[in-house]
Chains A and B, each alone.
Chain A
Amino acid sequence: MKKKLLDFAAKMEIPRLIIVGFLLFIFAVAFITGLPLDSLFSASLVRVGMNGVLVLAMVPTVSAGVGLNFGLPVGVLCGLVGVLLSMQLDLHGFVGFFSALLFSFPLAVLAGWAYALLLNRVKGQEMMVGTYVGFSSVAVMCIFWLLAPFNNPELVWAIGGRGLRSTLTLDKHFAKVLNNLFLVKLGKIEIPLGLLGFFGLLCLIVHLLFRTKLGLAIKAAGSNPRFAEAAGINPDHTRIYGVILSTVLGAVGIVIYAQSYGFVQLYMAPLMMGFPAVAAILLGGASLQRASIGHVILGTFLFQTLLTITLPVASRVVQGDISEVARLIVSNGMILYALTRGERREIA
């Protein structure tokens, strides 16, 4: 029994156990202090569905050997352009939602391809370069937001009529269309089956993709480029596929995020989009070399639940907002931890 426990502990790894322990502790405190656990739990389920796809976007790059996609804002920006186009055309409901996805798709493929070409030139430093590609593309798009010829009065600044507003509301378009789809009530707990189902569907698609011939080639080239080359695969090509897939998922992810949030945030808002996603998948047990759908689901659940629960509990206990601090400690701590143990697998 003791050995089994130790094995389990080794499999879970210490940091994850600490997080799970902390989470349980917070739940206990929430229960004792009389916070409404059911609504908190409902809120965390929504946040899982809301952020899950952005976390899922990490899987293709890790599998392709590019590492974690710190350049996720590239995909996010494509998704935002898709949302704006859909809003400009005054599309509503599911039509609006899916046309946003449709518009962003070709952009994401193109942007992902260009981004992948760049990453192929900086092998070994993809994550560092990706971070700065993300930062600089956000900055470039700031100019785009100001100059782009959108003219729907809902989108542009009320005074002057030029340049997109920094925060746009989706209320009249497709806010919460997925959140409210198949919303099931179990006692007081609300389960957004539509939202979670969509996330699940994308997980399934990615899972199946990596069981195809191409997917297996991407994975093999990611874990051992020389092996792949010897089997007649060009690792540079498979890396491009991985990055494109990740960028597309980033675009899909932000559209889902936006509909759930009910707002679109432009300008500097996408700047840090990549970091919580990176932290979540690492929390789920992924490493720089290996990431699975299981890591995505577990990581998103732990990370988002932690955030949802900590805020009210913390404000009740310490009379102040340490939630943001906790989020930063957890997310940056996880990234730091993963980067320092990155090469461990090579030794065994």
Chain B
Amino acid sequence: MVSLWEELLVVAYALEMRSITKQYFGNTVLKSVDVAVKPGEIHALVGENGAGKSTLMNILFGMPVIHQTGGYDGVIQIDGVDVKVDSPARAMELGIGMVHQEFMLIPGFSVVENIKLNREISRPNLVSRFLGSKLETLDLNTMGKESQVALDKLGIDIDHWAPVAGLPVGYMQFVEIAREIDKHNMKVLVFDEPTAVLTESEADLFLESVKRLAGLGLAILFISHRLEEVVDISNNITVIRDGEVVGRLAKDAARVDRIAELMVGRSVKQSALPPRKKEPSDDDIILQIRDLAVDMPGEKLQNFDLDVRRGEIIGIGGLAGHGKVALANGIMGLYPGTGQVIKDGQKLPLENPAAALKSNLAFVSEDRRGMGLLLDDSIEDNIVFSSMQIQNKFLKKHLPWPSTHMRDAEAIRAYALDTIRDLDVRCQGPNQPVRRLSGGNQQKVCLGRALALSPDVLFASEPTRGIDIGAKNLVLDLLVEINREMGMTIVITSSELAELRMICDRIAIVYEGRLVGTLDPTASDVDFGLMMAGGIGTGVKAG
């Protein structure tokens, strides 16, 4: 490593970001991050969702969100000169380009028009002499030629007068890149998950182009979740976790499992969990999942087989986008799915949330504010809602038809007060709208709503996402307590491997929508890293 750095110091960097620190409302999201890219280098930036990659890129582009929240500390240098990037326009002037994850193209315009958008080449004409340069004639010929040059640099052959709307997705990506490299002073080009929407062959073609661009002397920052391609094309890799650089790997030292381990691994002390009367075993399976496929956008799951033992806490881990959260969403019927799920010998209909709930399954969604809560309703109404709708509890039965039963205010209040006390929800009272609660307390209300169903199996999806450390531990302790005292089976999905390893009996790892294997929480970081990258570790128990 040291020799590498010495070697790098000699060469001038195209881009250097030094000790970048950023706080959002007193919350440090980047801690003294250093990234340096030489001309002609492909530098990969990897990290889990929320690690701070986007914040770093927002700083590089001078996005308003950074400056509205108090700016940042640290130095950015372009070609060895200190620069102050205070707006995206300034970033462009400095020669920093960005290829977006979502295409920013106008479908009805031709390839050339898109490439030259807002930078059109024009000639003065009679009208423009009087009414200003906005009305000059477009020099379509030159625009076409220059666009062709840009496309040639990418080694791509498309009809540059064709409208963008009809192009395959992969080609749209190329148009997007062509637009960036057509800017004459381009020095640094950032790719934010460029291959996420591409098919495999398109991605290969694309990666070739990226190498070609680097060959032309551009410095390239490459952000991707696909670790194979990262290893394949980058000269250097910087791994970020929780806003800190946790590893720098040169090409020859980079291995997928090592990167995955750095991204998620965090040595945790396994605190002893309370024992059970009867340990879960393979003889008593509560949930049998066979050949499950779930079509959840960005998190597809396929050919998924898993047996969940009665009374266990099983963790579902894996990198973002590989489908781990689709398992719970699919079983609960929230996304289209096929396959077979058998609970206690009964086949569970898919794509039917009411049936899943009636089979005594409950779900705490990863999308807490979007799907998990009625934000403007009170804590008590949130807690009892599912139970009331599914199990007809908390209702006064005046008339024979369940739909006409009135909410039983007293029963609801009494139950809500119990839940608030048991789960330690910090609030002003059961009447408070949940919107006013902190993230951790909102999560407890979500948990409370699931528990009000007294389910046999509780699916908790990312239960600690977006809540502070203290609350995280409370939620995890709560899950353990529920499991131990009520014997409830818990399937917990989390991006944070460390917390899975704290509370789970075993951890199933999902890779590219398939189950790779299950690991003991005490398995080594290397095993976890390898498995998250699609390989089979040494500590594998059952596939």
- Taking Cβ atoms with an 8 Å cutoff, the residues of A that contact B are 208, 211-214, 216-217, 220, 223-224, 226-227, 229-233, 289-290, 345, 348
Contacts and interface: CB of A to CB of B under 8 A. Distances in A.
Contacts of A216: 381, 385, 388-389, 407
A201 to B, nearest CB: 17
Interface residues of B, number: 34
B4 to A, nearest CB: 47
Contacts of B407: 211-213, 216
A179 B386 CA distance: 44
Contacts of B386: 231-232
Contacts of A214: 403-404
B353 to A, nearest CB: 5
Nearest to B384: A216
* Closest A-B pairs by Cβ, 7 of them: A232-B354, A214-B403, A226-B371, A231-B386, A232-B353, A232-B357, A213-B405
- Tell me if A's interface is mostly helix, strand, loop or mixed: helix
A229 B389 contact: no
Contact of A212 (B355, B363, B405): B405
A223 B376 CA distance: 8
B385 A224 contact: no
10 contacts: A208-B406, A213-B388, A213-B405, A214-B404, A216-B407, A230-B332, A230-B353, A232-B355, A232-B356, A232-B386
Nearest to B369: A224
Contacts of B376: 223, 289-290, 345
A217 B389 contact: yes
Contacts of A232: 353-358, 386, 389-390
Contacts of A217: 389
Contacts of A226: 367, 370-371
B412 to A, nearest CB: 11
Contacts of B365: 230
Contacts of A211: 406-407
A213 B357 contact: no
A226 B389 CA distance: 15
B353 A213 contact: no
A211 B381 CA distance: 11
Nearest to B371: A226
B334 A229 contact: yes
Nearest to A222: B374
B334 A223 contact: no
A231 B385 contact: yes
Given A208-B406, A231-B390, A232-B358, 10 more contacts: A212-B405, A212-B407, A213-B405, A214-B403, A216-B407, A224-B374, A226-B371, A232-B353, A232-B389, A232-B390
Nearest to B394: A213
A211 B398 CA distance: 13
Contacts of B356: 232
B375 interface: yes
Nearest to A232: B354
B37 interface: no
B435 A213 contact: no
B177 interface: no
Nearest to B365: A230
A30 B356 CA distance: 65
A226 B329 CA distance: 12
A231 B363 CA distance: 9
B369 to A, nearest CB: 9
B6 to A, nearest CB: 51
Interface string B487-509: 00000000000000000000000
Contacts of A224: 370-371, 373-375
A66 to B, nearest CB: 17
Contacts of B390: 231-232
Given A223-B377, A224-B374, A233 B435 contact: no
A217 B389 CA distance: 7
Interface string B328-363: 000010100000000000000000011111100001
A230 B389 CA distance: 11
Contacts of B317: none
Given A220-B385, A224-B375, A229-B353, A213 B334 contact: no
Nearest to B387: A231
Given A208-B406, A212-B403, A216-B407, A233 B389 contact: yes
Nearest to A224: B374
B374 A223 contact: yes
B389 A231 contact: yes
Given A229-B334, A231-B353, A231-B389, A212 B404 contact: yes
Contact of A213 (B374, B381, B392): B392
B215 interface: no
Interface in B283-300: none
Nearest to B409: A211
A290 B375 CA distance: 12
B372 interface: yes
Contacts of B405: 212-213
B375 A213 contact: no
B403 A230 contact: no
A53 to B, nearest CB: 22
Given A211-B406, A212-B403, A230 B334 contact: yes
Nearest to B356: A232
B395 interface: yes
Nearest to A208: B406
B389 A213 contact: yes
Q: Which of B334, B374, B392 has the most CB of A within 10 A?
A: B374
B375 to A, nearest CB: 7
B158 to A, nearest CB: 35
A276 B469 CA distance: 52
Contacts of B371: 224, 226-227, 230
B295 to A, nearest CB: 16
Contacts of B377: 220, 223
Interface in B72-86: none
A254 B185 CA distance: 70
A348 B373 CA distance: 15
B466 interface: no
Q: Which of A214, A227, A233 has the most CB of B within 10 A?
A: A227
Interface centre among B376, B381, B402 (most CB of A within 10 A): B376
A213 B385 CA distance: 9
B516 to A, nearest CB: 28
A345 B389 CA distance: 26
A69 B12 CA distance: 66
Contacts of A290: 376
